[in-house]
Amino acid sequence: MNQVTTSVQAADEISLPELLADLWRLKFWFVGLGFVFSALAVFYSLQLPNQYKSETVLYPVQQQGGAGLAASLGGQLGGLASMAGLNLGSKENKTALALQILNSRVFFEKLSEKYNMLVPLMAAEGWDRDSNTLLINQELYDSSAKKWVRQVAAPLTAEPSMEEAFVRFKDILQVDQDKATSMVRVGIEFVSPELAQQWVKAIVTELNAEMRHRELSEAERAISYLNEQLEKTSLQEVRSVMYDLIEEQTKTLMLANVREEYMFQVVDPAPYPQLKSGPKRAFIVIFAALGSIVIIILFSVFRLVMRKS
């Protein structure tokens, strides 16, 4: 206990001139350790493959009729719309739903299966610019035999699970929404610029298709239900609202069938990235050099404390 107290007191007694003088005596260590750390950082950064980012800007398409119709319905008629399965939410709610679907595992599994994403996502180690080919790590996936050969411990298997692939996909996916303008940015950062562009386009296409499918199914079920209820009521006011609901759902069917960009309209298409977005090799080297400086300073403080204690 006394030794610890003495060490703390010694540390408190270290003055700045003493520290600077000791650091000056260690100046060659500064140079040597900084050079070693920087060299290791350069070597490490050069082993990292280049990353390329492709990003698209989307605007949520205005869904007509829903919010205004919801405001005009009240009490029993609003309940009738809910019973019919109508989604009378605002555009913001539908956009939030679409973004949640985009970030869901179910959506990724469909996307991965349709566009064969598993092998490049989990086994790619780089990209050859000259031949425009993806470099596959043969220790993970045997391209000639088309078989996963990676060595992993249980419960993992040689072939990556969808859970593993989903985690990796979330690492390269970037989704951001500007609350002020409602603009949505969707980007992919990957070792292959071609796949980064293709996957961004695929995400937008499949997300629009998914939202279109949901709206079509909902509208068809609602129209069927409302037609059944029309036959059961003779109240003119109720029948009039039912006709309005059917008209709105018919418009939804029409728009879903004729508009490809059903939920999101592409404002700025995803480009084929020419310049790399990462890794930040200069930052890695600078961080390593600063790390060596911190280590020398801590070592100097430790030496002075040990001398005084």
Q: What is the mean pLDDT of each run of 10 residues along the chain (309 residues)?
A: 50 68 74 80 79 94 51 46 52 84 95 95 91 92 93 90 95 92 94 95 95 86 82 78 80 78 91 86 80 81 76
**Total-model pTM:** 0.75
- Alpha-carbon distance 301 to 309, whole Å? 12
| Strand-strand pairing, 124-128 and 141-142 | unpaired
DSSP annotation of 47: H
Beta bridge partners of 174: 187
For the chain, strand residue ranges (E) read 52-60, 124-128, 133-136, 141-142, 147-148, 173-177, 184-190, 264-268
Give the three-state DSSP class for 225. helix
Beta bridge partners of 278: 51
Listing DSSP states for 243-255 in one string gives HHHHHHHHHHHHH
Handedness of CA 150, 154, 159, 160 (dihedral sign): negative
The two tokens of residue 300 are 């100097």
pLDDT score recorded for residue 118: 96
| Strand-strand pairing, 147-148 and 141-142 | antiparallel
